[in-house]
Structure 1
Amino acid sequence: MFSSKRFNAVDLSGDERLQYFIRTVRENKELWGLYADGWAESTDEQRRKGFIVFPDQPHAELCATDKWNRYSPKLIKLSSFLDRFLDKLAKQKYTIAVFPTPFDGPVQVEPDALRQELA
Protein backbone atom coordinates (compact mmCIF):
# COMPACT_ATOMS: atom_id res chain seq x y z
CA MET A 1 0.00 0.00 0.00
CA PHE A 2 1.13 3.59 -0.09
CA SER A 3 1.90 6.14 2.58
CA SER A 4 -0.36 9.06 3.36
CA LYS A 5 2.39 11.38 2.02
CA ARG A 6 2.10 9.78 -1.42
CA PHE A 7 -1.68 9.69 -1.32
CA ASN A 8 -1.82 13.40 -0.49
CA ALA A 9 -0.09 14.13 -3.80
CA VAL A 10 -3.52 13.99 -5.48
CA ASP A 11 -4.41 17.20 -3.65
CA LEU A 12 -1.47 19.12 -5.11
CA SER A 13 -1.86 21.73 -7.85
CA GLY A 14 -0.93 20.76 -11.41
CA ASP A 15 2.53 22.37 -11.17
CA GLU A 16 3.16 20.73 -7.79
CA ARG A 17 2.08 17.32 -9.17
CA LEU A 18 4.47 17.78 -12.10
CA GLN A 19 7.37 18.51 -9.74
CA TYR A 20 6.37 15.55 -7.53
CA PHE A 21 6.27 13.34 -10.64
CA ILE A 22 9.73 14.47 -11.78
CA ARG A 23 11.31 13.97 -8.32
CA THR A 24 9.71 10.55 -7.83
CA VAL A 25 10.58 9.24 -11.30
CA ARG A 26 14.20 10.45 -11.03
CA GLU A 27 14.51 8.79 -7.62
CA ASN A 28 12.87 5.47 -8.52
CA LYS A 29 14.04 5.27 -12.16
CA GLU A 30 10.53 4.18 -13.18
CA LEU A 31 7.13 5.56 -14.00
CA TRP A 32 3.71 4.04 -14.57
CA GLY A 33 1.09 4.05 -17.28
CA LEU A 34 -2.31 2.42 -17.64
CA TYR A 35 -2.47 -0.45 -20.10
CA ALA A 36 -5.20 -2.68 -21.55
CA ASP A 37 -5.00 -3.45 -25.29
CA GLY A 38 -2.90 -0.31 -25.59
CA TRP A 39 -1.83 2.58 -23.41
CA ALA A 40 -4.38 4.94 -21.87
CA GLU A 41 -4.57 8.34 -23.52
CA SER A 42 -6.18 11.68 -22.90
CA THR A 43 -7.13 14.56 -25.17
CA ASP A 44 -6.40 18.19 -24.35
CA GLU A 45 -8.35 21.33 -25.25
CA GLN A 46 -6.57 21.52 -28.64
CA ARG A 47 -7.60 17.90 -29.28
CA ARG A 48 -4.00 16.68 -29.05
CA LYS A 49 -3.57 13.19 -27.70
CA GLY A 50 -1.63 12.73 -24.49
CA PHE A 51 0.18 9.65 -23.22
CA ILE A 52 -0.85 9.29 -19.56
CA VAL A 53 1.86 8.70 -16.94
CA PHE A 54 1.98 8.49 -13.14
CA PRO A 55 4.80 8.69 -10.59
CA ASP A 56 3.99 5.35 -8.97
CA GLN A 57 1.67 2.36 -9.01
CA PRO A 58 -0.73 3.52 -6.26
CA HIS A 59 -1.55 6.75 -8.08
CA ALA A 60 -2.02 4.85 -11.35
CA GLU A 61 -4.39 2.42 -9.58
CA LEU A 62 -6.36 5.36 -8.22
CA CYS A 63 -7.14 6.44 -11.79
CA ALA A 64 -7.89 2.98 -13.22
CA THR A 65 -11.61 3.73 -12.91
CA ASP A 66 -14.44 5.16 -14.98
CA LYS A 67 -13.26 5.46 -18.58
CA TRP A 68 -10.05 3.58 -17.71
CA ASN A 69 -11.69 0.85 -15.60
CA ARG A 70 -10.45 -1.94 -17.85
CA TYR A 71 -6.86 -0.67 -17.66
CA SER A 72 -4.21 -1.85 -15.21
CA PRO A 73 -1.11 -0.05 -13.99
CA LYS A 74 2.00 -1.02 -15.93
CA LEU A 75 5.60 -0.22 -15.02
CA ILE A 76 7.78 1.66 -17.50
CA LYS A 77 11.50 1.80 -16.78
CA LEU A 78 12.81 5.34 -17.03
CA SER A 79 15.56 4.24 -19.44
CA SER A 80 12.96 2.75 -21.82
CA PHE A 81 10.78 5.83 -21.55
CA LEU A 82 13.69 8.11 -22.44
CA ASP A 83 15.17 5.86 -25.15
CA ARG A 84 12.06 4.55 -26.90
CA PHE A 85 8.78 6.10 -25.81
CA LEU A 86 9.52 9.82 -26.01
CA ASP A 87 10.86 9.87 -29.58
CA LYS A 88 7.92 7.85 -30.85
CA LEU A 89 5.41 10.03 -29.01
CA ALA A 90 7.02 13.22 -30.32
CA LYS A 91 6.86 11.92 -33.91
CA GLN A 92 3.18 11.12 -33.43
CA LYS A 93 2.57 14.66 -32.07
CA TYR A 94 1.53 13.42 -28.62
CA THR A 95 1.99 15.34 -25.41
CA ILE A 96 2.82 13.62 -22.15
CA ALA A 97 -0.24 13.76 -19.87
CA VAL A 98 1.47 13.83 -16.49
CA PHE A 99 -0.22 12.62 -13.33
CA PRO A 100 -3.97 13.11 -13.68
CA THR A 101 -6.01 12.51 -10.54
CA PRO A 102 -9.67 11.65 -9.99
CA PHE A 103 -10.12 15.36 -9.19
CA ASP A 104 -7.97 17.10 -11.80
CA GLY A 105 -6.77 16.53 -15.33
CA PRO A 106 -3.16 15.87 -16.29
CA VAL A 107 -0.43 18.43 -16.80
CA GLN A 108 0.37 18.43 -20.53
CA VAL A 109 4.11 18.44 -21.23
CA GLU A 110 5.91 18.26 -24.56
CA PRO A 111 8.03 15.08 -24.88
CA ASP A 112 11.31 16.97 -25.35
CA ALA A 113 10.66 19.19 -22.33
CA LEU A 114 9.95 16.16 -20.13
CA ARG A 115 13.10 14.43 -21.43
CA GLN A 116 15.18 17.41 -20.27
CA GLU A 117 13.62 17.21 -16.79
CA LEU A 118 14.10 13.46 -16.42
CA ALA A 119 17.45 12.83 -18.14
Structure 2
Amino acid sequence: MSDDRYSDFIDQVAQWEGVWALYHNGWLLHTTDDGQKFCPLFASREDAQSWGLSIQTNHVATAITLVEMMEDLIPEWRDQDILPGITPTPALGPVVVDPDRFRSDLLSALKAVMTARFGKKQ
Protein backbone atom coordinates (compact mmCIF):
# COMPACT_ATOMS: atom_id res chain seq x y z
CA MET A 1 0.00 0.00 0.00
CA SER A 2 1.44 3.38 -0.99
CA ASP A 3 1.49 6.32 1.37
CA ASP A 4 -0.35 9.24 -0.20
CA ARG A 5 -0.12 11.45 2.87
CA TYR A 6 2.41 13.85 1.33
CA SER A 7 0.59 14.49 -1.96
CA ASP A 8 -2.78 14.72 -0.17
CA PHE A 9 -1.27 17.17 2.32
CA ILE A 10 0.22 19.37 -0.43
CA ASP A 11 -3.12 19.47 -2.28
CA GLN A 12 -5.11 20.32 0.85
CA VAL A 13 -2.82 23.07 2.14
CA ALA A 14 -2.58 24.70 -1.28
CA GLN A 15 -6.38 24.91 -1.35
CA TRP A 16 -6.51 26.36 2.16
CA GLU A 17 -3.26 28.36 1.82
CA GLY A 18 -2.02 27.31 5.23
CA VAL A 19 -0.91 24.47 7.46
CA TRP A 20 -1.36 23.53 11.11
CA ALA A 21 1.38 22.85 13.63
CA LEU A 22 1.58 22.66 17.41
CA TYR A 23 2.75 25.73 19.35
CA HIS A 24 3.59 26.55 22.97
CA ASN A 25 6.42 29.06 23.48
CA GLY A 26 7.77 27.82 20.13
CA TRP A 27 6.87 25.27 17.49
CA LEU A 28 6.84 21.68 18.65
CA LEU A 29 9.84 19.76 17.34
CA HIS A 30 10.05 16.00 17.44
CA THR A 31 12.67 13.43 16.46
CA THR A 32 12.38 10.49 14.06
CA ASP A 33 13.54 7.03 15.06
CA ASP A 34 16.88 7.72 13.37
CA GLY A 35 17.40 11.01 15.22
CA GLN A 36 16.32 13.56 12.59
CA LYS A 37 14.59 16.62 14.04
CA PHE A 38 11.26 17.53 12.41
CA CYS A 39 8.36 19.91 12.89
CA PRO A 40 5.05 18.01 12.60
CA LEU A 41 2.71 19.66 10.09
CA PHE A 42 -0.94 18.91 9.39
CA ALA A 43 -3.55 19.89 6.81
CA SER A 44 -6.28 20.31 9.41
CA ARG A 45 -6.63 21.63 12.93
CA GLU A 46 -8.33 18.40 14.00
CA ASP A 47 -5.40 16.25 12.81
CA ALA A 48 -2.93 18.48 14.66
CA GLN A 49 -5.02 18.37 17.86
CA SER A 50 -5.46 14.61 17.64
CA TRP A 51 -1.75 13.97 17.22
CA GLY A 52 -0.94 16.41 20.04
CA LEU A 53 -3.27 14.48 22.34
CA SER A 54 -1.68 11.18 21.32
CA ILE A 55 1.78 12.38 22.38
CA GLN A 56 0.40 14.17 25.46
CA THR A 57 1.77 17.64 24.79
CA ASN A 58 0.48 20.97 26.02
CA HIS A 59 1.20 22.54 22.62
CA VAL A 60 -1.94 23.77 20.83
CA ALA A 61 -2.90 23.54 17.17
CA THR A 62 -1.98 26.82 15.48
CA ALA A 63 -2.39 27.92 11.87
CA ILE A 64 0.60 28.95 9.77
CA THR A 65 0.06 30.83 6.51
CA LEU A 66 1.96 29.64 3.46
CA VAL A 67 3.63 33.07 3.32
CA GLU A 68 4.95 32.64 6.87
CA MET A 69 5.98 29.07 6.06
CA MET A 70 7.93 30.07 2.94
CA GLU A 71 9.47 33.31 4.16
CA ASP A 72 10.27 32.46 7.77
CA LEU A 73 10.00 28.83 8.80
CA ILE A 74 11.49 26.96 5.84
CA PRO A 75 14.67 29.09 5.78
CA GLU A 76 14.96 28.75 9.59
CA TRP A 77 14.52 24.97 9.41
CA ARG A 78 17.09 24.70 6.61
CA ASP A 79 19.62 26.58 8.77
CA GLN A 80 18.88 24.40 11.82
CA ASP A 81 18.68 21.01 10.02
CA ILE A 82 14.97 20.60 10.82
CA LEU A 83 12.73 18.85 8.31
CA PRO A 84 9.03 19.31 7.70
CA GLY A 85 7.31 16.22 9.16
CA ILE A 86 4.11 15.73 7.23
CA THR A 87 1.03 14.26 8.96
CA PRO A 88 2.48 11.92 11.56
CA THR A 89 -0.11 9.66 13.16
CA PRO A 90 0.02 7.51 16.29
CA ALA A 91 0.56 4.50 13.99
CA LEU A 92 2.78 6.08 11.31
CA GLY A 93 5.79 8.34 11.58
CA PRO A 94 5.90 11.56 9.59
CA VAL A 95 6.68 11.83 5.92
CA VAL A 96 9.88 13.86 6.18
CA VAL A 97 10.95 15.89 3.20
CA ASP A 98 13.78 18.25 2.29
CA PRO A 99 12.75 21.87 3.02
CA ASP A 100 13.61 23.01 -0.53
CA ARG A 101 11.54 20.23 -2.12
CA PHE A 102 8.71 21.07 0.30
CA ARG A 103 8.82 24.74 -0.69
CA SER A 104 8.90 23.89 -4.39
CA ASP A 105 6.00 21.42 -4.09
CA LEU A 106 3.94 23.97 -2.15
CA LEU A 107 4.58 26.70 -4.74
CA SER A 108 3.66 24.39 -7.63
CA ALA A 109 0.44 23.29 -5.94
CA LEU A 110 -0.47 26.86 -4.99
CA LYS A 111 0.11 28.00 -8.58
CA ALA A 112 -2.19 25.23 -9.83
CA VAL A 113 -4.89 26.24 -7.33
CA MET A 114 -4.65 29.92 -8.32
CA THR A 115 -4.80 29.04 -12.03
CA ALA A 116 -7.90 26.90 -11.41
CA ARG A 117 -9.56 29.69 -9.41
CA PHE A 118 -8.66 32.69 -11.53
CA GLY A 119 -7.55 31.36 -14.93
CA LYS A 120 -4.19 31.74 -16.63
CA LYS A 121 -2.44 35.08 -16.43
CA GLN A 122 -2.96 37.04 -19.66
Give the alignment's TM-score, normalised by structure 1. 0.83
AA matched with 2:75: D
Distance in structure 1 (CA, Å) of the matches to 2:56 and 2:75: 25
Question: Per-residue displacement from partner, 1:13-34 (whole Å, max 9, x unpaired)?
Answer: 5x31111110001110010000
Q: Which has the larger radius of gyration?
A: 2
AA matched with 1:95: L
Would you say 1:99 and 2:87 are equivalent positions? yes
**Residue correspondence of structure 1 range 49-88 to structure 2 within 5 A:** 49-88=37-76
Q: Over the residues paired in the alignment, what is the CA RMSD in angstroms?
A: 1.6
1:30–1:78 contact (8 Å) kept in structure 2: yes
Question: Per-residue displacement from partner, 1:21-70 (whole Å, max 9, x unpaired)?
Answer: 10001110010000112211121233121011101111111111143431
Tell me how many residue pairs correspond in the alignment.
107
Distance in structure 2 (CA, Å) of the matches to 1:80 and 1:38: 14
Distance in structure 1 (CA, Å) of the matches to 2:99 and 2:56: 23
Would you say 1:37 and 2:19 are equivalent positions? no
The counterpart of 2:96, out of the listed 69, 91, 108, is: 108
Could you list the structure 1 runs, at least 4 aligned residues long, displaced by more than 6 angstroms after superposition: none
AA matched with 1:25: V
How high is the sequence identity, in percent, across the aligned residues? 27
Measure how far apart 1:83 and its partner are: 1.0
Unaligned runs of 5+ in 2: 108-122
1:42–1:52 contact (8 Å) kept in structure 2: yes
Question: Per-residue displacement from partner, 1:56-105 (whole Å, max 9, x unpaired)?
Answer: 11111111114343111000001110111101100111111111112211
Give the alignment's TM-score, normalised by structure 2. 0.81
Distance in structure 2 (CA, Å) of the matches to 1:51 and 1:22: 16
Distance in structure 1 (CA, Å) of the matches to 2:93 and 2:56: 14
Distance in structure 2 (CA, Å) of the matches to 1:67 and 1:40: 11
Measure how far apart 1:116 and its partner are: 0.7
